A and B are shown apart, each in its own frame.
Chain A
């Protein structure tokens, strides 16, 4: 492409990165929050704040399932699906759920959930309608407002560019070790380059791992061809081969009594002694085609496929059982997905995941800023900025500042919207996107340093107001969380406060930089840039 391999890689790194950096920022941002999906969902449901899992969580599970089936037998004998979701370490409430009657022409009617305090066994107040952490989880790969399949293709495309940019980034980086320790402060685009390098190099293994495994999670949509060539019925054939519990049964309307739950549970515990169960689901209860699926937690194993047992719901016999021992290829493939989702992480590792994700956001953000800065520095005094430069600067401001603000507004809306509002969860999401749109419109008109300072102020105020509004509208606050050891909620508020401080630091930085920037550009630097521009 260019004269040398090195130069063409530099060129490619710049353009591949710039084309998708804003989308990548969104993906990384939402993905980083999704590592704490359950905790964020919990924060969004104050009614569940005080339900804590008891000490003897696992030994209570048998009793909870039996009580749950009894409850569902009386509450929803006609429903098509029942589900019992057992308390986990990160989701401490017990949920009995059944499917609501299906509307005409729909394949699923949505869940009606009944929340139980696992310690006392009493019903909890129904929590407010919210998507919580699941919104960010979906946003991470389904985006929003567009068709899911299209969205996933777009996300795959951006991720591929990300992977290519990462590899070419390593290639063009001659002094990878030295740059780990160099940071030149207040030097215009030099400083941005340094922070780009530091955030990329420090977490480089994570970046490559998360991008590669992210693409692997969507691989059956992206590359179905190996499965299609090897199997007659393509991907379905592969799944049936790999997961024996993937048995499809035809629904029938013929009534038949449900088998005794105790006998099913006896079989479960002979198969898996001391199992930590997560789910007990019954399809077509009280019908001839009833099946019972029991799932167990994978714990901290690097494994994505959940151990599953499938029973016949009428005579209680075991139909299928998931594979206990994987072949080495299955282990390889399965661990890739497991590494991406990070369900295996204990709290410390989860925070490491989170910090690496933040480093990824910083890497992408500094990358987009650096491009605009460089072009600005190379511009002559009287030269007018090109359309491309204005576009990039506008998108930078709209995305880098708009997304955090939209997120803060999402959480504020969760506390401030009336609790019994119709379609409340959608209104929260609407608040998110309206805020982002507002910032984007703002960036359309002006995107100078002044606007960055203004938006940084707005962001820090929004971040501070989250714990304050939380303290005013719910029973708990950051201090009570600390005293009661509710670490998930405490960390959430703490992260808000830390981000507020960081935004204030940013304001300070932007201010000092504005005064210093005039004297900072050395003449030699300008000449060098000009030379580089000519040779490029």
Chain B
């Protein structure tokens, strides 16, 4: 029993250390994850969103693609700025993942992959 508590306290110390470490770098980490969300998350969302757009726009095939391609950068920069404007990182990730998968799902349904 004594040994177990020692083991416990050791893991506590380890947890504490990680926590301390995390807290001292919390700001840097949150900045990095935000940039990650903006760059990668924004890229993923833009890709699926404009891909879906190219399928559903009521235009000739080539026109639909060209229009959605022209709009990609606009969408991407809007998402990028939105990521930095919203306070909670959790909200950002949930929104991006939900909307992206919704778009992806619709593409899959439209193309008959499912």
Contact = CB atoms under 8 A, between A and B. Distances in A.
A227 B65 contact: yes
B48 A327 contact: no
A193 interface: no
A229 B107 contact: yes
Contacts of A238: 62, 65-66
Interface residues of A, number: 36
A332 B46 contact: no
B102 interface: no
A227 B85 contact: no
Contact of A9 (B60, B72, B84): B84
Interface string B60-75: 1111111111101110
Count chain A CB atoms within 10 A of each CB in B34, B59, B62, B76 and give the residue with the most. B62
Contacts of B39: 157
B69 A227 contact: yes
B83 to A, nearest CB: 9
Contacts of B68: 226
B80 A160 contact: yes
B46 A229 contact: no
A226 B53 contact: yes
A1 B34 contact: yes
B50 A223 contact: yes
B70 A216 contact: yes
A222 B68 CA distance: 13
A230 B64 contact: yes
A336 interface: yes
B101 interface: no
Contacts of B65: 226-227, 230-231, 238
A324 to B, nearest CB: 16
A369 to B, nearest CB: 24
Count chain B CB atoms within 10 A of each CB in A11, A15, A219, A223 and give the residue with the most. A223
Interface in B72-103: 72-74, 76-77, 80-81, 84-87
A228 interface: yes
Given A12-B84, A219-B72, A226 B63 contact: no
Interface string B29-58: 001001000010000001110111111000
Given A12-B84, A231-B65, A167 B73 contact: no
B94 to A, nearest CB: 17
Q: Give the interface size class of chain B.
A: 35 or more
A329 B63 contact: yes
Given A5-B85, A329-B59, A226 B69 contact: yes
A426 interface: no
A483 B63 CA distance: 51
A242 B66 contact: yes
A330 B59 CA distance: 12
Nearest to B72: A223
B8 to A, nearest CB: 38
Nearest to B34: A1
Contacts of A327: 60, 63
A164 B80 contact: yes
Nearest to B67: A329
A450 to B, nearest CB: 35
B2 interface: no
A329 B66 contact: yes
B85 A223 contact: no
B53 A212 contact: no
Interface in A222-248: 222-223, 225-231, 238, 241-242
Contacts of B87: 1
A225 B48 contact: yes
A305 B34 CA distance: 39
Interface string B10-24: 000000000000000
Contacts of B80: 160, 164
A333 interface: yes
B55 A229 contact: yes
Nearest to B80: A164
B77 A160 contact: yes
A327 B59 CA distance: 10
Given A164-B80, A225-B47, A229-B107, A219 B85 contact: no
A239 to B, nearest CB: 9
A163 B74 CA distance: 9
Interface in A1-48: 1, 5, 8-9, 11-12, 15
Contact of A219 (B73, B81, B84): B73
A332 B85 contact: no
Contact of B67 (A216, A228, A242, A333): A333
A212 B54 CA distance: 20
A259 interface: no
The 6 closest A-B pairs by CB, nearest first: A226-B54, A329-B63, A229-B51, A333-B66, A225-B51, A12-B84
8 contacts: A163-B77, A168-B81, A216-B70, A327-B63, A329-B66, A329-B67, A329-B70, A333-B70
Given A1-B87, A225-B50, A332-B67, 17 more contacts: A1-B34, A1-B85, A8-B85, A9-B84, A11-B84, A164-B81, A216-B70, A219-B73, A225-B47, A225-B48, A226-B69, A227-B54, A229-B111, A230-B55, A329-B64, A330-B63, A330-B66
Interface of B: 31, 34, 39, 46-48, 50-55, 59-70, 72-74, 76-77, 80-81, 84-87, 107, 111
